[in-house]
């Protein structure tokens, strides 16, 4: 099994594998163009980074990710300035999702075992965000988290566990504050 296959299966992998380094370098080149004023057609650069076209996609520069190709976003996605998506595992985002500035979606993790850490091994767990979610400024979403549709995550939260649909959640660690009811 290749290191990329291990990475995508959530197993320990070597991030210094030449194929993975090449893929990250490609993403870095596209992001450097995207983040540079006058660096080219922003929509076309995102299409190349993600490997597909998204209707209504808006990501404010600067934007950073590991690979880009492991990110799937729905229609009408908006991310404010300085978002970071560490996409060693799949990041799946629904339609009509809004992210405030400085939001980090982190799928990569490092071993607790110090010997494995010395070996520079990593593993990833996917993040899933449902339709119509709003994530406030300065939020970190940790590996393996699912945020249910229509939910709101308050600014400054650190999301370490799943958040159910139709709830408002906030804090460090992030906890459900209340249900969202129709007005």
The answer for 98, left when phi > 0, alpha when psi is -120 to 50, beta otherwise, is beta
> CA 57 to CA 31: how far, in whole Å?
16
Q: Of residues 22, 36, 53, 110, which has the active-site annotation? A: 110
Strand 167-170 to strand 175-179: parallel, antiparallel, or no bridges (unpaired)? antiparallel
> CA 84 to CA 90: how far, in whole Å?
14
Distance from chain centroid for Cα 183: 31
Active site (annotated) includes residue 110: yes
CB hemisphere CA count around 13 (13 angstroms): 25
Token pair, residue 159, equals: 């999301």
| Three-state secondary structure call for residue 61 | coil
> CA 64 to CA 95: how far, in whole Å?
21
Q: How crowded is residue 3: how many other Cβ atoms within 10 Å of its Cβ?
A: 18
| Active site residues per annotation | 110
């Amino acid at each position: 099994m290749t290191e990329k296959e291990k990475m995508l299966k959530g197993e320990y992998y070597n991030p210094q594998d030449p194929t993975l380094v090449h893929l990250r370098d490609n993403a870095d080149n596209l992001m450097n163009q995207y983040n540079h004023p006058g660096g080219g057609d922003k929509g076309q650069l995102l299409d190349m980074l993600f490997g597909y076209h998204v209707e209504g996609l808006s990501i404010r520069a600067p934007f950073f990710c590991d690979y880009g190709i492991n990110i799937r976003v729905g229609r009408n996605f908006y991310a404010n300035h300085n978002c970071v998506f560490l996409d060693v595992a799949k990041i799946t985002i629904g339609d009509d999702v809004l992210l405030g500035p400085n939001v980090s979606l982190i799928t990569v993790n490092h071993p607790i075992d110090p010997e494995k850490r010395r070996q520079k091994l990593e593993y990833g767990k996917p993040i899933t965000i449902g339709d119509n979610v709003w994530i406030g400024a300065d939020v970190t979403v940790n590996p393996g988290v699912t945020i249910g549709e229509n939910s709101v995550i308050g600014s400054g939260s650190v999301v370490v566990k799943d958040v159910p649909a139709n709830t408002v959640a906030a804090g460090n660690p992030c906890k459900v504050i209340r249900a969202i009811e129709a007005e």
